[in-house]
């Protein structure tokens, strides 16, 4: 539902063009999904967002949201930007420098009666933790505060689609983490299709449900993030996002005196460092493949907390690499380990083998 209470359907996109940036992509994003578009500069990421927003017309385009068609080049349909309920957050804020924070948000409230705009804008600024900063112009705000104003302005559109174009790249790392959390919390309440363009792997692993890896205007890999990361054979995913797995779980126990937290997932549990977690928190845990050791038995006399039993479900050998990527399935979760060919031979690892995945707690990236 949007703020107005209207049900929002999936975003369906099909774009083709030969110039100025070659493009040939198709994707669908559901109301509770975040599609991260990841690729090198010049691969067409921002062009896709501009086409969805109506700021760029490709040679061949279909853009639909639920039952509404925003663009269908073959049938002569092209709704202008102001007729598309799009919330767009740019990398460099794109705020009006001569207007205050509240006036910048008001500028996006043209669909709201004049007398209600100031109160609505102030409410949106409070929602992004800028209460009391209403009268400040962009030059008086920090980078993080300016981006919060940009987010509030995007929300003012009562969007049916949320588009984020490198939204965190202009701020420092700590602010970036805070903004990720805030944007994620907001988009969960909106429940609209969200498309995130980024070159930051942390943006992808923190926010995305799905990913599209773009190379020269074409998708070289796309699908659910957890599934793609768990594939040992996808070199494009490995090169773009790094080799590792993503586990989604819930904090089931916190032992503050020991500095540890237990995270339950569908295949068991992982013990991780307590970084201020609370029981019931939903977390994502990234496990780099090179931090996973395989064993045919439970080890003894080690400081290790995590020895997870599973079954080998796939192996990926590459002629130009001395390493083997092994997929270990634990419950419904797949973990990846990168080991030497010698380790595979010594442990007689093959599809169907029972194996333990050993992971140090300090190697878990929450």
In angstroms, the CA 144 to CA 190 distance is 21
pLDDT at position 188 is: 86
pLDDT at position 320 is: 80
pLDDT at position 347 is: 94
Of 14, 59, 21, nearest to 43 (Cα)? 21
pLDDT over 60 (residue 5): no
Contact 160, 8 (CB under 8 A): yes
pLDDT at position 275 is: 86
Helix, strand, coil percentages (3-state) for the chain, rounded to 5, are 30, 35, 35
pLDDT over 60 (residue 336): yes
pLDDT at position 242 is: 86
In angstroms, the CA 353 to CA 358 distance is 15
Q: Looking up tokens 């910048």, which residue turns up?
A: 104
Q: Looking up tokens 């420098």, which residue turns up?
A: 97
Q: Is the peptide bond before 20 cis (omega within 30 degrees of 0)?
A: yes
Choose between 322 and 319: higher pLDDT. Answer: 322
pLDDT confidence tier of residue 111, bands split at 50, 70 and 90 = confident
From residue 16, alpha-carbon distances to 19, 78, 213, 226, 289 in Å are 9, 15, 16, 28, 36
In angstroms, the CA 359 to CA 93 distance is 40
Contact 246, 226 (CB under 8 A): yes
pLDDT at position 25 is: 96
Residue ranges of alpha helices (H) inside the chain are: 45-53, 101-106, 114-127, 143-156, 173-190, 201-207, 225-229, 235-241, 341-346
Q: Which domains does the chain have, with CATH numbers?
A: 11-241 (3.40.50.300), 244-363 (2.40.50.100)
pLDDT over 80 (residue 160): yes
Q: Looking up tokens 């002569």, which residue turns up?
A: 76
Q: Which residues contact 15 (CB under 8 A, 6 or more apart)?
A: 23, 24, 25, 26, 48, 51, 58, 60, 61, 62
pLDDT at position 2 is: 52
Give the tens place of pLDDT for each residue, 342-364.
999 999 999 999 999 999 998 88
pLDDT over 80 (residue 279): yes
**One-character DSSP codes across 72-94:** EGGGTEE--GGGS-EEEE-TT--
The predicted model gives 21-36 an average pLDDT of: 94
pLDDT over 50 (residue 38): yes
In angstroms, the CA 306 to CA 272 distance is 9
What is the b/e burial string over 122-143, where b = at least 16 CB atoms within 10 angstroms of the residue's CB? bebbebbebeebbebebeebeb
The predicted model gives 180-192 an average pLDDT of: 87
CA atoms within 13 A on the CB side of 108: 30
pLDDT at position 211 is: 95
Give the tens place of pLDDT for each residue, 188-238.
888 899 999 988 888 898 899 999 999 999 999 999 999 999 888 888 888
């Amino acid at each position: 539902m949007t703020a107005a209470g209207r049900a929002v359907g999936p975003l369906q996109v099909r774009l083709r063009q030969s110039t100025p940036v070659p493009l040939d992509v198709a994707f669908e994003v559901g109301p509770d999904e975040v599609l991260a578009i990841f690729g090198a500069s010049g691969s067409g990421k921002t062009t896709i967002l501009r086409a969805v927003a109506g700021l760029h017309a490709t040679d061949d385009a279909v853009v639909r949201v639920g039952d509404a068609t925003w663009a269908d080049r073959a049938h002569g349909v092209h709704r202008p930007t102001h007729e598309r309920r799009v919330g767009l957050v740019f990398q460099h804020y794109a705020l009006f420098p001569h207007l205050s924070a509240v006036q910048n948000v008001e500028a996006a409230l043209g669909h709201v009666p004049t007398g209600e705009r100031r109160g609505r804008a102030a409410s949106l600024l409070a929602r992004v933790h800028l209460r009391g900063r209403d009268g400040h112009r962009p030059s008086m705000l920090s980078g993080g505060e300016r981006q919060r104003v940009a987010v509030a302005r995007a929300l003012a559109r009562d969007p049916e689609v949320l588009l984020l174009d490198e939204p965190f790249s202009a701020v420092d790392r700590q602010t970036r983490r805070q903004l990720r959390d805030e944007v994620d919390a907001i988009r969960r309440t909106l429940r609209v299709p969200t498309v995130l363009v980024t070159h930051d792997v942390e943006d992808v692993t923190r926010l995305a449900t799905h990913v599209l890896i773009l190379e020269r205007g074409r998708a070289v890999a796309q699908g659910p993030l957890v599934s793609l990361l768990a594939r040992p054979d996808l070199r494009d995913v490995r090169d773009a996002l790094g080799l590792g797995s993503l586990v989604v779980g819930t904090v089931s126990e916190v032992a503050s005196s020991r500095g540890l937290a237990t995270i339950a997932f569908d295949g068991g549990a992982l013990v991780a460092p307590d970084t201020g977690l609370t029981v019931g928190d939903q977390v994502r845990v990234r496990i780099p493949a090179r931090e996973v050791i395989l064993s045919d038995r439970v080890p003894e006399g080690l400081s290790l907390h995590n020895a997870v039993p599973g079954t080998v479900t796939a192996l990926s050998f590459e002629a130009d690499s001395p390493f083997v990527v092994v997929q270990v399935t634990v419950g419904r979760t797949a973990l990846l380990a990168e080991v030497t060919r010698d380790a595979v031979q010594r442990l007689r690892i093959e599809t169907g083998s029972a194996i333990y995945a050993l992971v140090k707690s300090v190697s878990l990236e929450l």
